[in-house]
Amino acid sequence: MHYTSFSSLCNLLINTSSQVYENDKESIEFLDDPIVKEKLENSQKLSEVNVDEYDAIYYVGGHGPVIDLPEDLDNIKLVSQVRH
């Protein structure tokens, strides 16, 4: 069994009523899923993540992670704690 959690540089706030999603069936289904909603509502900041509680860290992409994460001290600390 695998456990998945969501984390971000700051608390995740996603406007699910945004018109950005109105024609995106997959995004609407994902964001309306009760498990996803619970995980988003209880997401951690990267600074709160204990790397010893996880087997892997997966970064969902786009330009945001490429721009924000390389310079973020909490992310750098988290990644440096991962055992290969």
Indicate the average pLDDT of the chain. 82
Closest CA to 4 of 46, 52, 57, 47: 57
Under the banding of pLDDT at 50, 70 and 90, the label for residue 73 is very high
Q: What is the pLDDT of residue 7?
A: 86
- Supply the pLDDT for residue 16: 62
With CA atoms as reference, report the closest residue to 40 among 29, 30, 50. 30
| Look-up of token digits 């990267």 | 46
Please identify which residue in the block is written with the tokens 């069936």: 25
pLDDT in tens, 33-58: 999 888 888 888 889 999 888 888 88
Q: What is the distance between the terminal CA atoms of the chain, rounded to a whole angstrom?
A: 21
Lowest mean pLDDT among 1-5, 13-17, 36-40, 58-62: 13-17
